[in-house]
């Protein structure tokens, strides 16, 4: 009976309590890290999805006739290709300022942001538009086959090589934590000038994804 009473009065030792507190602390830290990574991944998925849409727009533009019309004299050939990739688009925001830890609402005014370009140039050629606020600066740069002009205007923060002839790159730049370090996402496509087909890169290039 005495032995039973002594056992009933027994409690946790200080060491046991410290171990429990340490385990709870570790689990809490892992949970916080997991939630932060999940939120960051949700934001970066925006860039990946948008780049995929821009790239598909670039391929679609090549596969339809987008070049300037011309009247061809009888018995002669046209001077331009029937198919070509879209020429450069302005960065969005068109101020070239990457959103820092916040979102940018695209300007729907004609001649601004995605409301720029024509049948062979820019966002209208790509048939791409975004109306929702976004965490990233988006861009599209190319070097059309039927153009001697080099690609230009690509934001240096993309950390991606400028397009070669018959090639385009769709890209996004971010600064999710507003620390000045930039993330970069990009996907390239290249025209095979022998078979006149266009192929997308198999993967999106990612640099410093969670910056």
CB 166 within 8 A of CB 145: yes
- Provide, rounded to the nearest whole percent, the portion of the chain with pLDDT above 90: 36
Question: Which neighbouring-strand residues pair with 73?
Answer: none
Instruction: State both tokens at 88.
Output: 């450069």
- The average pLDDT across 115-121 equals 89
Of the candidates 200, 188, 183, the residue with the CA atom closest to the CA atom of residue 63: 200
- Mean pLDDT, the chain, whole residue set: 81
Instruction: Write down the pTM of the prediction.
Output: 0.75
Please check the confidence at residue 8 and state whether its pLDDT lies above 60. Answer: no
Residue 37 has pLDDT above 50, yes or no: yes
d(CA 163, CA 174): 21
Distances (CA, A) of 94 to 69, 108, 123, 138: 29, 12, 12, 9
Of the ranges 70-79, 138-147, 151-160, 182-191, the best mean pLDDT one? 182-191
Average pLDDT over residues 93-117: 91
Task: Determine contact, residues 111/144, Cβ cutoff 8 Å.
Answer: no
pLDDT given for residue 164 in this prediction: 82
pLDDT score recorded for residue 187: 92
Tokens of 164: 């070669």
What integer is the mean pLDDT of 23-30?
Answer: 80
Average pLDDT (35-63) is 85
Helix (H, G, I), strand (E, B) or coil at 14: helix
Q: What is the pLDDT of residue 171?
A: 93
> Residue 3: phi, psi to the nearest 5?
-60, -40
What per-residue confidence (pLDDT) applies to 122?
A: 92
Evaluated on CA atoms 67, 63, 88, 117, the torsion sign reads: positive
Q: pLDDT tier at 5 (50, 70, 90 boundaries)? A: low
Lowest mean pLDDT: which of 38-42, 118-122, 185-189? 38-42
Percent of the chain with pLDDT over 70: 79
User: What mean pLDDT comes out for the span 101-126?
Assistant: 92
The residues that bridge with 173 in the sheet, in sequence order, are 137, 184
Query: What's the rounded mean pLDDT across residues 163-179?
Result: 89
Contact in structure between 203 and 33 (CB atoms under 8 Å): no
Enter the DSSP assignment of 129. Answer: -
Q: What is the CA radius of gyration of the chain?
A: 27
* CA-closest candidate to residue 173, choices 44, 49, 86, 56: 44
Region of poorest pLDDT, from 19-28, 83-92, 167-176: 19-28
């Amino acid at each position: 009976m005495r032995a039973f009473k002594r056992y009933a009065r027994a409690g946790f030792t200080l060491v046991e309590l410290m171990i429990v507190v340490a385990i709870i602390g570790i689990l809490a830290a892992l949970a916080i890290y997991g939630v932060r990574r999940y939120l960051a991944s949700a934001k970066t998925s925006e860039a990946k999805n948008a780049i995929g849409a821009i790239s598909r727009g670039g391929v679609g533009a090549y596969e339809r006739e987008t070049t300037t019309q011309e009247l061809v004299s009888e018995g002669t050939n046209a001077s331009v290709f029937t198919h070509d990739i879209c020429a450069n688009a302005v960065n969005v925001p068109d101020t070239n300022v990457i959103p820092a830890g916040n979102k940018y609402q695209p300007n729907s005014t004609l001649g601004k942001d995605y409301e720029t370009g024509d049948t062979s140039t820019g966002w209208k050629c790509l048939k791409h538009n975004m109306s929702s606020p976004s965490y990233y600066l988006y861009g599209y740069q190319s070097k059309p086959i039927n153009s001697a002009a080099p690609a230009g205007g690509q934001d240096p923060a993309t950390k991606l090589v400028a397009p070669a002839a018959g090639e385009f790159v769709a890209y996004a730049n971010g600064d999710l934590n507003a620390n000045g370090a930039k993330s970069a996402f990009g996907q390239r496509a290249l025209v095979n000038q022998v078979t006149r087909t266009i192929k997308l890169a198999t993967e999106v290039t990612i640099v410093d994804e969670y910056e």
